[in-house]
Structure 1
Amino acid sequence: MARIVVVGAGVGGLATAARLAATGHQVTVLERADTVGGKLGRYVHDTPAGPFHFDTGPSLLTLPDVFHDLFEATGAKLDEYLDLAPIDPIVRHVFPGGGPALDSCADPAEFAARIGAAFGDRAAADWQRLWRRAERVWQASHRDILRRPIDSPLDLAALAWRLGDLAAIGPGRTLRGLGRRHLSDPRLRMLLDRYATYTGADPRRAPAALVAVPYAELAFGGWYLRGGLGTLADALLTRCLDLGVVVQTGATVTRIDAAGGRVHGVRLRGVAAPVPADVVVANVDALTLYRDLLPSPRRLAGLTDRSLAGFVLLLGVTGDSGLAHHSVFFPRDYDAEFDAVFGHPGRGVRARPAADPTVFVTVADDPMVRPAGHEAWFVLVNAPRHGTAAGAVDWRRPGLAEAYADRVLDVLAERGVDVRDRLAFREVRTPADLDDATGAPGGSIYGTAGGLLRPANRGPAHGLWLVGGSSHPGGGLPMVTLSAQIVADEIGPAW
């Protein structure tokens, strides 16, 4: 039995702790915040009409089998803890210039039929060809990458790739290039581009292999948890406690002790004595780990990819909008948005809030999250990360957040959804707020190492492991849960 300390109580940390405790290890989770869940955040706004409940992080659960596997591995059933509801449409896509919206769904034939009805038979045939390629990429990724440790690019190169898999993955190609090659309708290209943002990346630079992301969402469905996605954190915490895991909130780890090339424990702010450990699992951003907790200049130098952040409005809206659970309102010039969000530091072009951004709106038809006669809106806009460098924006600059909130509401009104005179309240969350709340550097949603290949799960010291969105296999609820499985399997059972 090993003494294991998990630094951070996000989904990856809690999932790892539960798996390790179920196999006989002594596990302690240390979380700097007062609540668990990490980026799977929640917020309650009380009003005379009643409370509004918001998920301030993920709003969609995909790959449900990953979570069924997690709970079964810890001796429980997912359905005993969570109430999963399938969503159709998964996303309603509203394109510029008017015309029909496109509702995605988990039935490939039905989705192709919807594309054909909205955009014509050629567009539907294009999508079906792309879908066959996406399926091949997904199968290769799921078989060879997502459930095993990848310690370096050499590990990827050493895999026994089938020639057909390599052709589908398209090494060196971008997601944007893939869309231009396969999709003749610009609206479908725009839809495909959006999935690069699921990894925090720019589709013009993101690898074509990310075509597996829409496949995972549209093949296995999108799901909502009644009561909000935050109930997943509650369920994982309950599993941990039932399995004997010690969970301490308000405990800030300041350093990992790793003298002699192996971990010995961690140091806590305000506590003189170290917390001993045979194994440390870091559920923090890799940038935070290698910059602050275990300084490693060589590994830190590799974390150079830029990952987008998010600007959020939490709105209490009176009446019924008629919106789908998820709606995406695209801009006329998608490239202008990415130019603004990422900037061009090499050319001296600073990042800035996009003037005409894509707007994501989540409205859950769930009486558990809003008073009768009202809706709780979560509005998300892609945004530059917080900071003072050319590729970032100082979101604490006086007046900026409120002015941009006004702009986002104006954009929604321009796109046919005007709620400015139906607001019971609004609250703003900037990338700086996410940085403060979760320790995500600059407020990066999917970790600072956005893109395909993330830092390895195995750390540079013996007994150190990484889980979470900034490590392999990447960001998003199912990926961080798979990272927990990889790490728990590598550590192995206590017996």
Structure 2
Amino acid sequence: MTRAVVVGGGLGGLAVAARLAASGQQVTLLEATERVGGKLGTVEVDGFRFDTGPSLVTMPLVLERLFADTGAPLRDVLDLQRLDVAARYRFGDGVALDLPGERPAIAPAMDDALGDGAGAQWEAFLAHAQRVWDATHEHFLESPVSPGGLARLSLRVRDLLAVAPWRSLRGVGDRYLRDERLGLLLDRYATYSGSDPRRAPAALAVVPYVEQQFGSWYVRGGLRRLAEAVADRCRALGVELRTGARVTAIDTVGDRVSGVRLDAGERLAADVVVANADASTVYGPGGLLPHRASARRLARTTPSSSGFVLLLGLAGRDPATPHHRVLFPPSRAAYDAEFDAYRSRVPASSPTVYVHAPDDPALRRDDDGEGWFVLVTAPRHDPAGGVDWDAPGLAPRYAERILDVMARRGLDVRHRIRSCTVRTPADLERETLSPGGSIYGTSSDGALAAFLRPANRSPVAGLYLVGGSSHPGGGLPLVTLSAEITARLAREQSARV
């Protein structure tokens, strides 16, 4: 029986552990913190419970495959609910757009909110995005990355024209979207991978397509329940889940892995090691298994942005509060200034504000209050060369600024605040061991970013990478796909040995 050790208990690690165990491997998962789930965290404050990571499920078919391949189907385990309104977008001119959760309703809603013709512009863009999806999802998103995969894609001229690796997401959007507000809406999707729309590849057009084609979904009880459900599946399959178990090194014998070492001196033998950790933590100097060539490759990538968060416990409830809300800056120029600030490693003075306010009784203490997760994109924690988010007074001052920005954009809740908890990129780094608090590992900035992202199969035999910093990228659906690809590669190796 193949012995597999998974290092890290985020969603990617949990999902690959479940898949390996379901295939008959003996699996041990080691998590350095006291609970599994990684960025799928939760915090309780003053009777409110907040999801502190992802707030949305897209591509639910990926999760359905995970559960179907490892036991009882998803519908028997979690209550996924499709959102009628994916998000309420508030633009700089004060216009609000409630974006429907069903694609056929989107164009009419855009015409009603933004004027005749807006829906046709967006539908033309989505038709292009569908061509990108058709060209990439099988041969790239659901397959191991390799130079050969890039070559196969390049041989299909129509697919290459659709993907347009020479063009940015902003550039492809400008071909279809004449309304600046639609351009802002598209730009927002680049931030789903911690990227700048002016530098992110045009292939990211698949992000809005996937969300709007397959729907925006919420897990009743909070998305933390997804991590708990996959952990339960692991236990049912016989996976040994160990928390508080920090791995300090991955051992090798000859040219292949032989096990891992823990900080307490313990050593676990393994035929397969899967690292659900940031690739720089694995390959970099002082990492789990330093690898010079891989470290040099990583040095060519751009770390993704992080996030600055307010957890607001509010008095009173507004039944019209949308599940998701986005407050844009006054103009695209102001939005560009926000991205320029991140690249300069300073907090933006007037950032886009994202609010997650689920109407879920399981997350609030009573019917006379509501909990809001307020997020703005922020530069990573980098005391040496950027922002020191632990600097005295910085976090509370920036929290006040965010509340002021919300008020200026028509969402003043300062008089309703019962509790306000601030979470900075430094907090995220400490809690998830993600360097600098980068949410997605590396950003997607640059035409070759996807192919610079570390592959799931490492250069060392028996070692694999899974999760947001490896192929195909960050976010719930891609991390789950990463686990699917990695488990398949590990099983194929075990069958050859």
1:356 maps to which of 350, 368, 372: 350
2:372 corresponds to which residue? 377
2:123 corresponds to which residue? 128
Q: Distance in 1 between matches of 2:100 and 2:279?
A: 34
What amino acid is the match of 2:296?
A
CA contact (8 A) 1:11 1:480 kept: yes
**Mapping 1:161-240, distance limit 5 Å:** 161-240=155-234
Over residues 296-332 of structure 1, what are the superposed CA-to-partner deviations in whole Å (9 max), with x where a residue is unaligned?
A: 1221122231311000000100112432100000012
Over residues 21-50 of structure 1, what are the superposed CA-to-partner deviations in whole Å (9 max), with x where a residue is unaligned?
A: 0110000000001001001111112x3xxx
Q: Distance in 1 between matches of 2:154 and 2:440?
A: 29
2:307 corresponds to which residue? 310
1:36 corresponds to which residue? 36
Over residues 233-281 of structure 1, what are the superposed CA-to-partner deviations in whole Å (9 max), with x where a residue is unaligned?
A: 110111000000000000000110124210000010022x311100000
SS in 2 for 1:478: helix
CA contact (8 A) 1:326 1:363 kept: yes
2:294 corresponds to which residue? 299
SS in 2 for 1:144: helix
CA contact (8 A) 1:441 1:448 kept: no
CA contact (8 A) 1:285 1:448 kept: no
2:269 corresponds to which residue? 276
Shift of 1:122: 2.5
Shift of 1:448: 2.9
Q: Distance in 2 between matches of 1:357 and 1:145?
A: 33
**Mapping 1:57-456, distance limit 5 Å:** 57-99=53-95, 101-151=96-146, 153-159=147-153, 161-271=155-265, 273-291=266-284, 292-303=287-298, 304-321=301-318, 322-332=320-330, 333-343=334-344, 351-371=345-365, 372-390=367-385, 392-451=386-445, 452-453=449-450, 454-456=453-455
SS in 1 for 2:442: coil
TM-score by length of 2: 0.94
Q: How large is the RMSD of aligned CA atoms in angstroms?
A: 1.4
- Report which stretch shifted further, 418-427 or 297-306: 297-306
What amino acid is the match of 1:67?
L
Number of residue pairs matched by the alignment: 480
2:20 corresponds to which residue? 20
Q: Distance in 1 between matches of 2:109 and 2:368?
A: 31
Q: Distance in 2 between matches of 1:298 and 1:323?
A: 50
Shift of 1:107: 2.6
SS in 2 for 1:61: coil
SS in 2 for 1:293: coil
Q: Distance in 2 between matches of 1:160 and 1:383?
A: 35
Shift of 1:341: 1.2
TM-score by length of 1: 0.95
Q: Distance in 1 between matches of 2:313 and 2:150?
A: 47
- Report which stretch shifted further, 136-145 or 360-369: 136-145
Shift of 1:154: 4.5
